[in-house]
Amino acid sequence: MHVVVAGQGYVGLPLAVRAAEAGHHVIGYDVDPHRVQQLATGRSYVEDVPSPRLRAVLESGTYSATTAADELAGYDIAVITVPTPLRDGVPDLTYVEACARTLADHLRPGATVILESTTYPGTTEEVVLPILEKTSGLAGTDFRLGFSPERIDPGNKAWPFEKTPKVVSGVDAASLDAIKSFYDGLVETTVPVSSPKVAELTKLLENTFRHVNIALVNEMAILCHELGVNVWEAITAASSKPFGFMRFSPGPGVGGHCLPIDPSYLSWRVERALGQSFRFVELANDINAHMPDYVVRRLVKALNERSMAVRGSRILLLGLAYKADTADARESPSTRVAELLLDLGAEVRGADPHVVDDIRADPRLIRVVATAEEVAAADVVVLLTDHTTFDYGTILEHAPYVLDCRNRLADVNVGLADIDLL
């Protein structure tokens, strides 16, 4: 089939390449000319799609990338994988709406449009469907439409796109059949649900569950530190229970596109539709959003105990990505920690072997490599993202003091560094 994947980021590119490998003729559409230029030369910027894999589908002719909307004409399947950010706490569907209008210009009877972008329940039928009908002049029964939430987990080798079960839905039976058939050819398992609203809620439920439980252990870590109890040891002990417990670990905050944003979509929808607050989400947002502040407070206290001020201290942050062994720095708590420390007058340096491109960080942050000399020159080292590529033995050998926010150094028996756990 002729497939269009609109949006070639962390979600769209893996989907587009997988569809091309399955034998479809795929056009990756993106409004960013720099991205399209990179893709056209076979250079991938998404870790889950190595450049050799991208070049293979380019050379086979099953995949191409473009910024030209007129090249989308004649599609059988179009998938929307564009960003859905929050603007001042309100869902911003600008990209979804613009993409729907672009696809509607080329919509023909029998074609299928699938929304994958994370959003609130009702978006597919209340926002996308009217745009497609009005712009194309077709009735909703003339084409197929549904929602299938993305479940991309960057850097997860155990659960790549094709192995992760895919929830699918349609606005009617014919739409569900078409969408299920498409994804059946791409993934090992599809999970049909009764409506797009259920599929939309499924995605938000998954991430709200994670968000709330991470907030629980984050608050517990704060309280346990004051109580003098090792929360990490308690979590490990609780994890030995084979039922009724799922392990979540504390950290310096949450990042990526999902956890800082998706639960707020659900909270906003509940408030807008029912006039009620979603208290669990609001509390989790508050706890997780302020974990970078807590990290800084711990550093201020640690320096004070050493008769040092934050102002003028040299602080090395290890890890700028939000997740270990990935280059994804979207909404990373590391950038907030850096900003807070810089505002206090510290000399802040950041090391991350995975994040090589420019990120949305304070321009005062100095990018460095975590060499032995760099570690030794720091007054404080903060492990924010526990990449396996960091040399932890060297860190412990040369760092005078380490605040370990990931419990990564507990089993490294090298060096005499003063280690403090989050």
- Give every CB contact of residue 85 below 8 A, 6+ residues apart in sequence: 92, 261
Tell me what pLDDT residue 413 has: 54
pLDDT given at position 89 = 81
Domain boundaries, the chain: 2-194, 202-288, 290-421
Q: Calculate the dihedral angle through the C-alpha atoms of 263, 265, 266, 267, rounding to the nearest 10 degrees.
A: 90
Give CA–CA dist 344/303, Å, rounded: 13
The residue among 392, 389, 385, 381 whose CA lies nearest residue 414 is: 392
Give the per-residue pLDDT at 422.
87
**Sign of the four-CA dihedral 185, 186, 191, 197:** negative
pLDDT recorded at residue 328 = 85
Same fold, 2-194 and 290-421: yes
Domain 2-194 sits in CATH at 3.40.50.720
* Residues 417 and 401 sit within 8 Å (Cβ to Cβ): yes
pTM of this structure: 0.91
| CA angle (218, 339, 323) in 5-degree steps | 50
Predicted local distance difference test score (pLDDT) of residue 412: 60
**Per-residue CA distances from 276 to 241, 253, 268, 272, 280 (Å):** 36, 26, 9, 8, 12
258 a catalytic residue = yes
Task: Write phi, then psi, for 316 (nearest 5 degrees).
Answer: -105, 120
What's residue 337's pLDDT?
97
Q: Residue 395 contacts by C-beta under 8 Å, 6 or more apart in sequence?
A: 318, 370, 375, 381, 383, 402, 409, 415, 417
Cα(316)–Cα(273) distance, integer angstroms: 46
CATH fold of 202-288 reads N-(1-d-carboxylethyl)-l-norvaline Dehydrogenase; domain 2 (1.10.1040)
pLDDT at 125: 98
Architecture (CATH level 2) of domain 290-421: 3-Layer(aba) Sandwich (3.40)
In angstroms, the CA 165 to CA 189 distance is 5
Mean pLDDT in order along the chain per 10 residues (422 residues):
97 97 98 96 93 97 97 97 90 96 98 97 97 96 97 88 97 98 98 98 95 96 95 96 96 86 87 91 94 97 95 97 90 95 97 84 92 96 96 92 92 65 88
